[in-house]
Amino acid sequence: MYTFIKLGGSVITHKAGREVADLPVITRLAGEIARARADSPDLRLIISHGSGSFGHHYAAQYGVHRGLAADADWMGFALTAGAALRLNRIVVDALLAANLPAVEIQPSAALRSAAGQVIAWDTAPVGVALSHSLIPVIHGDVAFDSQQGSAIISTEQLLAHLALATDLRPARVVLVGEDAVYTADPRIDMNAERIPLITADNIDAVLHGAVGSHAVDVTGGMRSKLDLMWRLVQSVPGLEVRLVGPAPGLLAAALGDGQIDFGTIIRAS
């Protein structure tokens, strides 16, 4: 069984700017992953990340996520793909510096979609990398789309595809982004309360109250991520999803075997 990690774009970049990586945070998170792997040498990882201020800006400017006609200006498609790769290089270099055998795998090179949903992705390189004890690093990316021309495939969509369409079944998915899921937006509602656990008992209420991203996000924001993760835990027996913030030490703790008293856990029951 595997552990999937997603480093949110709003965590590893300054999302309100343009192509501004948060190098200290990226370096620290890489160190926490290295520490967790040193503590548990059998920890089998697939690491992923969002695009933040790198890819989302160009995607939104050119409407890549809405689809591009055959005779449209496809420069935005190329710019979005290039920006995602630049951020991926930064993340992979930080992981390598932390002595982790990270290797970048570009999804769009072998990815196709229809109406914004993955229909084909040759994931064989991911499996081969894992067989050599390497750590694949993927990222949200552009895709050629058979119905709308172009699409943006979110990191969560890619992780879901790996979990459901391959034999790389995860026991745990750790999403590093918002501190937790709350009953209301804690930025504007002082009475908002952390929701420590999401199950079938409260998922409908949680989805109803979920808010979107507070910066440019062409992949749907918090609600779409929660909806996808809920469908994932229903489909993969025993899977637990942990949503945690980027504060020091939280990622390392979330990768451990112990219970956590922070963030939000999603599981089927």
Domain that holds residue 239: 2-267
- Number of domains observed in the structure of the chain: 1
* 240 class by beta-carbon count within 10 Å (0-12 exposed, 13-18 middle, 19+ buried): middle
CATH code of 202's domain: 3.40.1160.10
Q: What is the C-alpha separation between 152 and 227, in angstroms, rounded? A: 17
pLDDT tens-digit readout, 118-171: 999 999 999 999 999 999 999 999 999 999 999 999 999 999 999 999 999 999
Q: Mind listing the pLDDT tens digit for each residue in 28-46?
A: 999 999 999 999 999 999 9
Question: What's the pLDDT score for residue 214?
Answer: 46
Task: Collect all residues with Cβ–Cβ distance below 8 Å to 57 and sequence separation of at least 6.
Answer: 18, 19, 83, 216
